[in-house]
Amino acid sequence: MKAALLRAIHEPLTIEEIEIAEPKTGEVLVRIEASGVCHSDLHRIHGDFPSPLPMVMGHEGSGVVEAVGPGVGSPQVGDHVVLSIGPYCNECLACGAGRFSDCPEIAAMRPLGALFDGTSRLSKGGERISNQSFVSSFAEYTVVPATGAIPVRKDAPLDTIALVGCGVTTGVAAVFNDARVAPGDRVAVFGCGGVGLNAVQAAALAGAEMVIGVDLLDSKLEFAKEFGATHTVNASEGDPVEQIRELTRIGVDHAFEVIGIPAVVLQGMASLKPGGKMWVLGVLPADAVLEIPWWQLMAGRQGLQFSGFGAANPRADIPRIVDLYMAGKLKLDELITERLPLERINDAFEMMERGEVARTLVYPR
């Protein structure tokens, strides 16, 4: 099958023909319809997120189930599925308590580029090829854990809902599940790319009184307004913390960092009101160090937390998000600024780095 591989950091992806094995126990084979291009992919290309190479990239996809391994009750052959970056073992204490994002099996296998049994179904001439985040959607087919292939309604556009596998759910679930933004809250979102725009629209849907989009680019701030931002702050035109405090008078209840820059995390903390919460969605470099001024803790701005996939329950949240989209409550089509064949995957990353797109969909066939 055709797939896009990362063979060396700081190098373009290569389009190659590789082999894919049959699904094993608890796994399914999915024919990929489309895949979103996410900034986390770019972090791997830049080496910010250590990856066992070579690796089939892509972690935000959708498709149709073509085969199931032993022991799989759901999904079934023919189901339309969204591929989730948060599969779970369903056997550990965390899964038993419903904290699927805390599943230790995910934490153990993801850095190895493996599925739950510690191996990959991808190879080329005997060479092992790693799996990205249990998904590897820049390909014609993929094998994933059954808990990472979430059945959704068949009347939803199968390509568009690929975005729900990572970016949409990460932003929306962070607002709904982790932060639990309430009507009347004031929210600041630092970074108005794909994930940030979903945090913006979720905060608006939750009834936040003020939703402040923060970015360096006016084009992205215009996107934020379309997705529900009541105010915008261009961080290139002055201290964003001062601008937020001028707008709110006291600070925000929730700040979301959706870029992956330590200095921006600190800006978010400084923009909080006493008792406010700082949520980090961005992927910081593995060796990043945060130096938090003591006065911020003394002022009651101690709520620094990482939001991993928004504490999503994939089986419940992904179909719910698709339903909200189909009901016209969430914007997905408006997120898509480019649609490209898989052969142009490197063009997609170049456009992302230039800040020209919110989300690009790539098609393997």
Active site residues: 38, 40, 43, 59, 166
Rounded to the nearest 5°, which phi and psi values hold at 195?
A: -70, -40
Rounded to the nearest 5°, which phi and psi values hold at 221?
A: -70, -35
Q: What are the C-alpha distances in Å from 325 to residues 26, 176, 271, 334? A: 29, 15, 31, 11
Other C-beta atoms lying within 10 Å of the C-beta of residue 177:
18
Q: Tell me which residue of 203, 358, 198, 167 sits closest to 277, measured CA to CA.
A: 203
| Beta strands at 19-20 and 336-341: parallel, antiparallel or unpaired | unpaired
Round to whole Å and give the CA distance between 146 and 157: 21
Contacts of residue 91, defined as CB under 8 A and 6 or more positions apart, other chains included, come to none
Q: What are the C-alpha distances in Å from 146 to residues 27, 29, 116, 164? A: 5, 9, 11, 17
SS3 per residue for 181-197 = CCCCCEEEEECCCHHHH
